[in-house]
Structure 1
Amino acid sequence: MRFLNEVEKQFDLTRMVGSGTFGEVYEAYDRLNDRRVAIKRLLPFQTMDAHKKEANFISSLHGKSNIVQRVQSPPLAPNGIILVEEQQALIFEYFEHDSPSDYVKDLTIKEITHYMKNLFVALRSVHALGIIHRDVKLNNFLYDRRNKKYLLVDFGLAEKKMQKTALGISTGQTPSPGRRTTSGSMSKYFPATKSNGYILPSENLAQQIAKRRRLGVRRTNASETVRNSGVKLKRLPVNRGGTRGYRAPEVLMGSHHQTKAVDVWSAGVILLTLLCRQTHCFQWFRHDNDNLAVMEIYGYARCVSLEVSALV
């Protein structure tokens, strides 16, 4: 309550424009500086380090095209951060935008091309600094259709690319030639596209999953240990963050080798969404099992038009 009381000394909270696991976003009017802003209130269970990390990422991207900018709002937030006891909020420029449901069904090919170009302009700046956004999706790439403006927002899940550990385990570097980004080869499970336009997973993957269940094989968690040449090694934690339906296979399968490619995969999901003119292409998987979820992605029917297919 005290937090809101302090905020309302300077800001009029107009409406909530979004909410998620890590916070709530409000449109607000800064009375003392006479402007509209967006206030992201970070939920109390988040650590202060997590708050600082997001703020630092955005600061490092200051002035980059299509990237959200933090704004100074003195006296309460001279550096763009409101801090009241254990609660924190970030102040951003307000960006007028359309809801994806208002444009996803009727964008022209030219508009889709322009949209994707601007998304990759933003991702190029992010990746150039070694940052992985990890939550690229329609709702996080704001689009002002009338003015053709774009903004990549929400760096709450972002992280720096990890370097190799002392054990030589890569957790984020660019793959070397021929190196797999997920454990094992996936290509044998996913044959070429059939003549009817479907990509059908082979029976091998389903058989492997069934075999694992019969034998009682299960996925270990981060606190368990594995043996390697007689040496006990603590299993490294795996980042599975992201939005369901947008996560790359290496995220779903718990690979330690996650790079900026996870953002590119998510951008590809956005492209497919726009081409299919559907807000959710394969967002709602029928399976909790990671492998089956990947299999469902590869088994998804082609939904794009012949006009779009001809562009490939």
Structure 2
Amino acid sequence: MEAAPTGQRSSHQSVEKGRSRHKIPRDVETDIAYLYEVLPQLSRIFRIIDKIGEGTFSTVYLAEAQMTDGSRRMFALKHLIPTSHPVRIAAELQCLTVAGGTENVMGVTYCFRKEHHVVIVMPYMEHQTFVDIVGSLSFEDVKHYIFHLLKALRHIHKFGIIHRDIKPTNFLFNQQRREYSLVDFGLAQGTPDTQIELLKELLGLDKAPRSVFGEKNINGTNSHKPGTDKVEGLLLKTKREEVIPRKIVSSKHRSVPVRTPLNQKPKAPAVSPMLTCNCFMTDRVCNICLSRKQQVAPRAGTPGFRAPEVLTKCPNQGTAIDMWSAGVILLSLLSGRYPFFKASDDLIALTQIMTIRGSRETKEAAKTFGKSIVCSRELPRLDLRILCETLRGLRSWDDASLPAEFQASRNPAEVKQDAGSPARKRMSSGSLRSIAELQEMGWDKAPDDVYDLLDKLLDLNPATRITASMALQHPLFKDMTV
């Protein structure tokens, strides 16, 4: 990156100059001023314009810089939260530098660091918000979208990178230019044979014990340990001020209280691991459940996009979890419904998956990775084409016979009109478009191939779920260059 210094300016002047061109909220102004304060070197190169994204572990800003040739370019500045573990930060940078910049994967331009504040500078890609366009995309748009997402996944999986947070907001899309970019490797892990050295470090960190009900968050501790010199080596390649390691005390897991006589230590329940749990569907926790060992398994990702093996805390998770998430995105694109799955916890999320894929099939798949699922009632497997076409508005709700869970997706106006005009032009709950409009967008000619690919992406068994390389060879993409 060759940017001409813009001259030292105060934080207040920088923000005011930004406001003159783009009106921003007062709280965003405060955040920008704070970023200039903690990383003063930013003000010599960038004029931060706005906050364009905010997540659990980072905040993203839009900034402008004047290049040495006199031109002005836009950049995305990702400010990582101060408690981020140094190995996690360096691993994200290594993913971007090794795998980024090609095949629809975002690259890195620069990195700033002062003490525990880190800002990753990336090219800014103008893009549309997924929720605003999901109902307006033609079938051809959807075909290109999923094709380019699969290309990005094939590329990072080749390096042994598991993204772990595939979702529309992490796959930027410019509809007019048909440009795509996979971003945010903050939760990435490595496969056993990963080519990203620092992801191997994370494998060791993620194996520490944690509660079965919670996820170990290595971003919550930042103590300097032997072996993190690789981290310093990578970060030293960027211009920064001296790093001051910090120690943060992490909270301990809470244990289940057990009543015992005074001055007597509680004994571990003596039960056989082969016994069947007897507290199912009761309001108590039995000794068998209390005696079980804590399960250690990554559980990162965004609710609604987590694969079944993540929801059931399977310890052996691979690149297949990214493929499941890609399948959920395709399910939204084909149905016009976003988000498709919306659950408050993992059990409800698993139930929603059963509603689509069937309870018997889900239980059978769970057995293949050593998990047992109990379902109170039988849920049939749904036909994916009928499901998507009904939600989009190409089929009658009366003809589809979908479960009651999907009745909430219906447009209230549609329900009212159903009684008086059964043959009317139906509207999709996701896109609210007429049959004529949907036909013009090519949705009435969507081939069986796309639903076959969807079925393979949403394979409940990660061992047989289609890979990105195999998906790109699918007949759906026979007229596209891989």
Calculate the TM-score normalised by the size of structure 1.
0.72
Describe the SS at the equivalent of 2:76: strand
- Contact conserved, 1:12 with 1:31, CA < 8 A, in 2? no
> For residues 216 and 240 of structure 1, what CA distance do their matches in structure 2 show?
23
| Higher strand content, 1 or 2 | 1
Deviations 1:235-276 (A, max 9, x none): 563210000100111111111011100000000000001111
In the alignment, does 2:181 pair up with 1:121?
Answer: no
Shift in CA distance, 246/13, structure 1 to aligned 2, threshold 3 Å = same
> For residues 106 and 133 of structure 1, what CA distance do their matches in structure 2 show?
28
Deviations 1:87-109 (A, max 9, x none): 00101011111111231001111
Shift in CA distance, 9/159, structure 1 to aligned 2, threshold 3 Å = same
2:340 corresponds to? 281
> For residues 218 and 100 of structure 1, what CA distance do their matches in structure 2 show?
47
Q: Which has the larger radius of gyration?
A: 2
Shift in CA distance, 26/219, structure 1 to aligned 2, threshold 3 Å = farther
2:77 corresponds to? 39
1:191 corresponds to? none
Describe the SS at the equivalent of 2:353: helix
1:216 corresponds to? 285
Which of 175, 190, 195 aligns to 1:160? It is 190
> For residues 219 and 36 of structure 1, what CA distance do their matches in structure 2 show?
58
Describe the SS at the equivalent of 1:212: coil
1:201 corresponds to? none
Q: How does 1:205-284 map to 2 (within 5 A)?
A: 211-214=279-282, 216-217=285-286, 226=293, 237-282=296-341, 284=342
Shift in CA distance, 261/87, structure 1 to aligned 2, threshold 3 Å = same
2:349 corresponds to? 293
1:48 corresponds to? 86
Q: How does 1:11-160 map to 2 (within 5 A)?
A: 11-31=46-66, 33=68, 34-71=72-109, 80-160=110-190
> For residues 129 and 48 of structure 1, what CA distance do their matches in structure 2 show?
21
Describe the SS at the equivalent of 2:143: helix
Describe the SS at the equivalent of 1:118: helix
Q: What is the letter of the counterpart of residue 304 of structure 1?
A: C
2:388 corresponds to? 304
> For residues 336 and 287 of structure 2, what CA distance do their matches in structure 1 show?
38
1:187 corresponds to? none
- Contact conserved, 1:25 with 1:40, CA < 8 A, in 2? yes
- Contact conserved, 2:78 with 2:120, CA < 8 A, in 1? yes
Shift in CA distance, 225/31, structure 1 to aligned 2, threshold 3 Å = farther
- Contact conserved, 2:167 with 2:305, CA < 8 A, in 1? yes
Deviations 1:90-133 (A, max 9, x none): 01011111111231001111111111000000000100111100
- Contact conserved, 1:37 with 1:93, CA < 8 A, in 2? yes
> For residues 116 and 56 of structure 2, what CA distance do their matches in structure 1 show?
18
- 1:212 is displaced (CA, Å) by 2.8
- 1:17 is displaced (CA, Å) by 1.0
- Contact conserved, 1:10 with 1:32, CA < 8 A, in 2? no
- 1:22 is displaced (CA, Å) by 0.7
| Higher helix content, 1 or 2 | 2
Moved more, 31-40 or 117-126: 31-40
Q: What is the letter of the counterpart of residue 89 of structure 2?
A: H
> For residues 146 and 111 of structure 2, what CA distance do their matches in structure 1 show?
31
Shift in CA distance, 69/217, structure 1 to aligned 2, threshold 3 Å = farther
Q: What is the letter of the counterpart of residue 296 of structure 1?
A: Q
Question: Which segments of 5 or more consecutive residues in structure 2 lack a partner in the other structure?
Answer: 1-33, 194-202, 204-275, 357-381, 395-443, 452-482
Shift in CA distance, 212/124, structure 1 to aligned 2, threshold 3 Å = same
Calculate the TM-score normalised by the size of structure 2.
0.48
> For residues 40 and 288 of structure 2, what CA distance do their matches in structure 1 show?
47
Shift in CA distance, 141/210, structure 1 to aligned 2, threshold 3 Å = farther
- 1:279 is displaced (CA, Å) by 2.0
> For residues 295 and 171 of structure 2, what CA distance do their matches in structure 1 show?
31
Describe the SS at the equivalent of 2:302: coil
